[in-house]
Structure 1
Amino acid sequence: MSMTVSRVRAAYARIEAVDRPEIWIDLRPQPEVEQEAQALDERLSAGEQLPLAGRLFAAKGNIDVQGLPTTAGCPSYAYEPETDAPVVARLRAAGAIVLGTTNLDQFATGLVGTRSPYGAVRNAHDPARISGGSSAGSAVAVALGIVDFALGTDTAGSGRVPAAFNGIVGLKPTKGLVPTEGVVPACASIDCVTVFARTLPEAEQALSFMASPPDRDLPPLPQRAPGPWRVAVAARDDLGELDEGWAEAYDAAVERLRGAGAEIRTLDLTPFTEAAAMLYQGAFVAERYTAVGAFVDKAIASGSEDLDPTVAGIITRARDIPAHQLYADQDRLDALRARALAELADADALLLPTTPGHPTLAEVAADPLGANARLGRFTNSTNLFDLAAVAVPSGEVNGLPFGVMLIGPAFTDDRLAQISRDLNPETYIAVVGAHLTGQPLNPQLLSLGAHLDRTTTTAPVYRLHTLATTPPKPGLVRVGEGGASIEAEVWRLPAEGLGRLLTALPRPMTLGSVELTDGTSVPGFLCEPGALSNAEDITSYGGWRNYMSS
């Protein structure tokens, strides 16, 4: 069986195992996807260059995927796209395989992930809490290890809030960097297509294939003076009320950057939070009526039952906003943006908590508008101010993911990614058996945010044996003379993920140093020699996959 087909089968097995049907709106039939995977492997064998070959992804349900209906979270709105949206087409052209379209807050109106006739999308770590929206299904599909990355959209924070709540990375590029054709608009002037992944390199790789040359001429960015990163942070009073433990988690993120050598200074957050309140409380929400208002009015008149009442209320109320209010709000926004950019001044980035807290499903049901408004306190202003952002995990609070985001001027996307690396140091691990790509324990690595770095072999100093375990797995033992090279994969993962993996490692497996064929050594899975007394030596197969396929 080809590696790509194996990965597809593992993904569908994972879908069945996690039993989260609310993630998906439409899932492609498995035989169809396997056929595409087989064709990709044949193209690779013929020498074609496909940089994303074997990578699996999902697309938010407001992004066109040819062969699947585009619903935007509303069944009666659905249409059949004739072609893929450009972002989907570019990823598929590079070899990535799309599994299906994911659930969202209807018409991308919300930050909660509960406003959908397809069901509320539950959090990947705590099903009693929200997943965050509107790109809810995409984020959870990544967090649960079903796909390698997923597409979302971000108008007010929809590509960042779900990332924070599910412990993954969310890249919100500069407006216009990624095309929005083939995407049902929320507020077309500020919509962005975003990408979720478990690690930053994986998200950056996907984004590199999605992006276009800048769609506008901008004055050159101010020349950065030499020296360490300069990061602006918010004063504690400006953050407002945060969930228990969140202020301390934010402070810890600030100190990690400081410890990595960044210069930290405080700014006035007021222009950011005042602009954030304007997104729904001001006239800008009228653009949502422009996008889908006529459909919503008609659906209400016909008695349609698949409109989310909260979403319908937001959109229909926007119909009657007077034009003069839009001009007044635009003037006020321009003034706030000037103040905000002055506050950033020579800072390379602004570090903020992604949200003020993480509500439960019950709390959102009790106060859908209030809970949603609170979640956008730090994210709503980003696109209004034409800024770039990246949301990254930053530890845990009370056993749940805590996330922060870095915000900077337009087209500083690469700079933000570089700074964010100082928040989450990474390490490597070598695997030779059941944790290999497509094997039964590979989802353990994916759930920890691991990313395949390379396929290689060990130095010729090891023997490989079968172990009587469930699922089957091999034992790797260093013998020195008389050893052989064994197929291995090297995975990159957050340093804290390696610690979690070690605490859950069952005997006779151990974590030790594995020497690779290039002479370098990385942490990897080894086996206690005492467990091999009756184990079959399978070294001659050259690796676990060859043995299993035999």
Structure 2
Amino acid sequence: MNLFLFDDDTVPLPPITTSQAVQRVLSVFDALSRGLGPAPSVRLRCREDVLVEAKAVDERVRAGEHLPLVGTLVAAPDQPVVVGRLMRAGAVVAGHTVPGAPSPGTEVRLETLSKLDALLVTEPPSACRGVVGFVPTRGLLPASESGITTVLARDAAVAQQVAAAVTGPDPRSDSATFSRHWPESVRLSAGDHPRVGVPDHAFLAGLPPAEAARLRTTAETLRVAGAVTDEIDFGDGDVLCRRRAALALRDHDALLLPQGRGAGSLARLVTRLDTAAMLLPVRDGGGVGLLTKPFDDQIALDLAGLLTGSQAPSPYPDVGVRLIAFGSFLRGQPRAVELERVGARFTGFATTSRHYRLVLFEQDPPEAGVVPTDVPTEGGPLLGEEWLLSPAALGEFVAGLSAPMRLGTVDLADGTSAPAILCDPAVAEGGVDLTAWECWRAYLRHLSAVRPAAAKAGS
């Protein structure tokens, strides 16, 4: 049973995969004219102006332009830099959110979105019901008067993509002095086993039974998915202690918290700590929150994706460097922890050209490396994994890379090249050629089948 399934009577409009922006706008304004909105915090723009902009999006799609937010209907603050970035990404800005909305203590429900896909607001709501709230690290989005911008959306993937489209300072405003950029050491992942702080029994005992049960179930979901959870004393009753939360974040990738109310709410905590956060709805109509360190936004998004099943195709920080891994650096293998330790993110598989060999140079435990060859007939396409690291993380990883491994470059089957973890050819020269297996895991599966058979034959 998925605790985080949306269970409401509102059926979201279908995602836009082709040039349908005009049709989408027409249907939305028709629905609004029949009393289905707009949201109280949104001031709709002129219908004809929105249609003109939607038609322009359609023309760009027909011309072959890739638009990450194609046809997404958004309401945003009336700030030229924000609106301009949304439009360049293919979004259609149907209206403007009212400054200062939602007011402190406001609870946002799915109906607040009306027929829109996302809202950009200047204050995090006290709670979300059927709506995902993403609060990026302060200063990453163009600063408003409050310095906080929250993206409210139907799912976490849309919230991330909208935030990514507007990320960056406003170069024409004094607010640029309050802006921040992704650090070179930004983590793109917490690995397969993120460490999450969860409320302890004493704190849960002070919550309403439904809210306490919600947090227990969410914590169990995280544990089943591989997270390591530690119980934390966050304060007395339902009042979240800022100091205790800040201390817990030092030793954890994220904190699982109740959304709360008033002075003890997660929204109030977000405005007083330097963090990123996700507000997630659950099936019973309530919600939970996830809090991370500043610039660990993608970790919050990953945990939200794990809980809701909604995940954007690319990470939020656009600062990554590709690295191709082989052998014991593959996921689940002994040295993969060296990549996870520096916040590397697995992004898929990669196949080399035929100019490389896979060579076994250690028998127990088995370890192999990839070396180039000048004779294509001696090489073969090898399957590796592609990881994404921040520039500083790549430097840290290479600095700790032990011999005979070293950083090199591989040519891939798709015609591109990328940095890769290669082996010293002198060490590999006397090793066993495994190129015919094409993949380290294929050879390991062979070993797991051969060894039991050999042990049985010798008994």
* TM superposition score normalised by structure 2: 0.55
Residue equivalent to 1:416: 300
Residue equivalent to 1:70: none
Residue equivalent to 2:251: 346
Q: Distance in 1 between matches of 2:135 and 2:239?
A: 19
Query: Residues 461-472 of structure 1: matches in 2 within 5 Å?
Result: none
Q: Distance in 2 between matches of 1:30 and 1:227?
A: 47
Aligned amino acid, residue 267 of structure 1: I
Residue equivalent to 1:311: none
**Residue 122 (structure 2) aligned to one of 153, 157, 170:** 153
Q: Distance in 2 between matches of 1:38 and 1:91?
A: 15
Q: Distance in 2 between matches of 1:108 and 1:234?
A: 27
Flag the 1:100–1:19 CA change in 2: closer, same or farther, 3 A.
same
Q: Distance in 2 between matches of 1:27 and 1:21?
A: 7
Aligned amino acid, residue 73 of structure 2: L
Q: Distance in 2 between matches of 1:225 and 1:34?
A: 42
**Residue 104 (structure 2) aligned to one of 102, 110, 119:** 110
**Residues 275, 380 of structure 1: 8 Å contact kept:** no
**Residues 267, 344 of structure 1: 8 Å contact kept:** no
Q: Distance in 1 between matches of 2:196 and 2:202?
A: 18
Q: Distance in 2 between matches of 1:225 and 1:3?
A: 37
Residue equivalent to 1:462: none
Query: Residues 433-444 of structure 1: matches in 2 within 5 Å?
Result: none
Residue equivalent to 1:253: 218
Hey, which of these two has a bigger chunk of helix by percent? 1
Residue equivalent to 2:58: 41
- Sequence identity, in percent? 31
Flag the 1:46–1:172 CA change in 2: closer, same or farther, 3 A.
same
Residue equivalent to 2:287: 403
Q: CA deviation at 1:413?
A: 0.2
- Is residue 32 of structure 2 the alignment partner of residue 15 of structure 1? yes
Residue equivalent to 1:206: 162
Query: Residues 256-271 of structure 1: matches in 2 within 5 Å?
Result: 256-270=221-235
Q: Which runs of 4+ in 1 moved over 4 A?
A: 106-109, 216-227, 271-276
Say which SS state the counterpart of residue 404 (structure 1) adopts: strand
Q: Distance in 1 between matches of 2:38 and 2:73?
A: 18
**Residue 132 (structure 2) aligned to one of 160, 169, 178:** 169
Q: Distance in 2 between matches of 1:216 and 1:248?
A: 38
Q: Give per-residue Cα distances to partners, 1:169-214, cap 9 Å, x unaligned.
A: 111000111111xx3x24xxxx221211111111111111111287
Q: CA deviation at 1:90?
A: 0.7
Residue equivalent to 1:392: 280
Say which SS state the counterpart of residue 192 (structure 1) adopts: coil
Query: Which consecutive residues of structure 1, in runs of 5 or more, have no partner in the other structure?
Result: 65-83, 113-130, 277-335, 357-371, 428-550
Flag the 1:42–1:274 CA change in 2: closer, same or farther, 3 A.
closer
Flag the 1:218–1:340 CA change in 2: closer, same or farther, 3 A.
farther
Aligned amino acid, residue 247 of structure 2: A
Q: Distance in 2 between matches of 1:225 and 1:409?
A: 12
**Residues 22, 51 of structure 2: 8 Å contact kept:** yes
**Residues 174, 413 of structure 1: 8 Å contact kept:** yes
Q: Distance in 1 between matches of 2:164 and 2:182?
A: 20
Say which SS state the counterpart of residue 423 (structure 1) adopts: helix
Q: Distance in 2 between matches of 1:204 and 1:275?
A: 28
**Residues 23, 140 of structure 1: 8 Å contact kept:** no
- Is residue 1 of structure 2 the alignment partner of residue 6 of structure 1? no
Q: Give per-residue Cα distances to partners, 1:209-235, cap 9 Å, x unaligned.
A: 111287268695699996611110112
Aligned amino acid, residue 29 of structure 1: C
